[in-house]
Amino acid sequence: MTNERIRLSVGAGPGQRAFTTVVAVVFTALGAVFLLLPVFADGLLARLTGYGEPFPSYDEARDLPPRMLPPDLHDNAAPEPFRLLGLCGLPVVLLGLYVLLRVLRTAAWLDGTRASVRGALGTRTVDLATAEVHGGTAAYRAGENVVLPVPTVVARDRDTGRRVTIPLRGLGLATLPPYELRALADAMTTGRPDSGRDADAHVLAGQLRAMADNPLGR
């Protein structure tokens, strides 16, 4: 078991990361346009309707239809449609920022026996040598209409309940590189007894080592 820090090959590949970043930036920009629309619309309407020259009194404007009155002369002015439309941009901005953070920040690494997984908003760390570990699956989108199951290692801290999920699919690879698979196997078996409730961890580690010994899947 080595104590060096090993960065795991998880997350989006360079091409997918670049494409997703562009899409996220476009989404965020469109949402920002909706959010700022009321500000620009107010200024544009002021120039078009002459709101920049307010009436001295209501008496001089009483013959005008209520819709043409300046905002400061409305007694019960309701929000105009474009004001409400601006609120639609907020979830779009938040979604775009979340996708952007997720694709740029997602990473996982091993530091001794401690596995850390970083997502869009935070990082979780679990000691694989003492955690409950088992295999799982996660959905991986390989195309517009193609979703593939990806094997994962799920580790849960017995004391805090903190959980991390490590996908066993690399950046554009069928699985993580053999060196990383063996490092995961070594981390989850270091100092762990091979009987009782810990026996399954040794079985899972053996499967990881078998994947590392047969990277071509033959």
- Taking only the tens place, the pLDDT of each residue in 83-92 is 666 677 788 8
Mean pLDDT of 95-118: 87
- Of all residues in the chain, the percent with pLDDT exceeding 70 is 66
- Taking only the tens place, the pLDDT of each residue in 152-208 is 999 999 989 999 999 888 666 678 899 999 999 999 999 999 888 889 999 999 999
- Taking only the tens place, the pLDDT of each residue in 2-54 is 567 899 988 766 667 777 778 888 878 888 877 777 666 655 555 545 544 55
Place of tokens 């990082």: 123
Q: What pLDDT does residue 86 have? A: 65
In this structure, what are the phi and psi dihedrals at residue 143, rounded to the nearest 5 degrees? -170, -175
DSSP assignment string, 105-145: H-EEEEETTEEEEE-SS-EEEEETTTSEEEEEEEEEE-SSS
Rounded mean pLDDT of the chain?
77
Give Cβ neighbours of residue 65 (< 8 Å, ≥ 6 apart).
none
Q: Comparing C-alpha atoms, which of 16, 14, 25, 10 is closest to residue 115?
A: 10
Q: Which of 100-109, 121-130, 205-214 has the lowest mean pLDDT?
A: 100-109
CA distance 57 to 212: 83
Residue 145 pLDDT class (50, 70, 90 cuts): low
CA 104 to chain CA centroid, Å, is 9
